[in-house]
């Protein structure tokens, strides 16, 4: 992997593959760039795809203290390494990060996000507050395994499945990234879609959800799309929170096709 320094000097590791206009993939909670390999491989024939380890994960550094602004600077550094005209796709909380970065001035013309996990509405805000409080207690106590279990339960993983996961090599990798759950939690604020802040998102933005995702998750993506000045919404039939790469790849390729055409005309 290559490395680039973020604005505060933190090294951010990234990988580049493919040929075409640049496209940066931003991962969600408890994932490093390796999780994006299947999707990147499907997009590489049409795009130069950059995947990266977010701060505190994989081969990237984690100079403290953390802030939303610093993670936005990390993404800006990767977009800068990608080259002029880079587009961005953010998965789950990675979508929230991408939106925050663009709202803060990251020069991106095309942006796509898949189910940023906002939880608007009275019950959703209460749920978020309770999860945030419990997460902070677990991390403060040094209970990384408990923090991972909390995250898995929030994403619908059954208790017995989590117990089986504890006995695999993957669990150690998840625990190594457990502290970054606080980063993703902070990205989402109180759980409400930050309508006023996202009014500054000038990028043409595609907000995607799965047709089999929960009703609150689907409603949150529509609220988000409506809050964006140039937002539009799309539902992928048969998909859930963990979207299949082979399903979303052609959707992203079509959305970013304008850049593909412009790139080939200029080549």
User: Rounded distance, CA 193 to CA 223, Å?
Assistant: 7
User: Rounded distance, CA 86 to CA 18, Å?
Assistant: 14
CA proximity to 93, closest of 135, 151, 46: 151
* Comparison of pLDDT for 92 and 159, the residue scoring more: 92
**What single-letter DSSP state applies at residue 189?**
T
Ramachandran area for residue 41 (φ above 0: left; ψ -120 to 50: alpha; else beta): alpha
User: Rounded distance, CA 152 to CA 167, Å?
Assistant: 15
CA proximity to 107, closest of 89, 74, 69, 80: 80
Q: Is 113 helix (H, G, I), strand (E, B) or coil?
A: strand
pLDDT of residue 63: 87
pLDDT band at 64 (very low <50, low <70, confident <90, very high): confident
pLDDT of residue 267: 44
pLDDT band at 158 (very low <50, low <70, confident <90, very high): confident
pLDDT of residue 263: 44
User: Rounded distance, CA 95 to CA 115, Å?
Assistant: 7
Q: Would you state the structure tokens that stand for residue 203, as one six-digit string?
A: 């990028």
pTM of the model: 0.94
CA distances from 30 to 11, 163, 184, 188 (A): 19, 17, 9, 15
pLDDT band at 237 (very low <50, low <70, confident <90, very high): very high
The residue-averaged pLDDT of 214-223 equals 96
Which residues are within 8 A (CB) of 14 and not within 5 positions of it... i.e. 6 or more apart? 1, 2, 3, 4, 33, 50, 51, 52, 53, 78, 81
Please say if the pLDDT value at position 14 is more than 50. yes
Q: Which residues pair with 2 in a beta bridge?
A: 14
**φ and ψ at 207, to 5 degrees?**
-105, 120
**What single-letter DSSP state applies at residue 33?**
G
Alpha helices in 53-143 (DSSP H): 68-82, 93-103, 122-140
| Average pLDDT across the chain, whole number | 94
The residue-averaged pLDDT of 2-19 equals 97
Which residues are within 8 A (CB) of 152 and not within 5 positions of it... i.e. 6 or more apart? 161, 162, 165
């Amino acid at each position: 992997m290559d490395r680039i320094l973020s604005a505060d000097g933190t090294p951010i590791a990234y990988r580049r593959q493919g040929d075409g206009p640049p496209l940066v993939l931003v991962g969600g909670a408890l994932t490093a760039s390796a999780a994006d390999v299947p999707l990147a491989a499907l997009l590489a024939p049409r795009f130069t795809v950059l995947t990266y380890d977010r701060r505190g994960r994989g081969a990237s550094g984690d100079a403290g203290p953390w802030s939303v602004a610093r993670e936005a600077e990390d993404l800006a550094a990767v977009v800068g390494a990608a080259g002029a005209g880079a587009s961005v796709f953010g998965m789950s909380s990675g979508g929230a990060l991408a939106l925050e970065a663009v709202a803060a001035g990251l020069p991106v013309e095309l942006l796509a996000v898949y189910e940023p996990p906002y939880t608007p509405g009275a019950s959703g805000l209460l749920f978020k507050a309770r999860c945030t409080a419990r997460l902070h207690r677990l991390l403060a106590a040094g209970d990384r395994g408990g923090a991972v279990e909390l995250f898995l339960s929030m994403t619908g993983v059954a208790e017995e499945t989590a117990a089986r996961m504890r006995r695999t090599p993957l669990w150690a990798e998840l625990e190594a990234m457990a502290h970054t759950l606080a980063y993703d939690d902070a990205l989402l604020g109180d759980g409400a879609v930050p309508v006023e802040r996202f009014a500054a998102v000038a990028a043409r933005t595609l907000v995607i959800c799965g047709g089999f995702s929960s009703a609150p998750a689907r409603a949150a993506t529509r609220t988000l799309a409506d809050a964006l000045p140039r937002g539009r919404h799309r539902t992928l039939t048969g998909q859930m929170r963990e979207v299949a790469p082979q399903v979303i790849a052609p959707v992203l390729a079509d959305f970013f096709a304008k850049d593909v055409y412009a790139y080939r005309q200029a080549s």
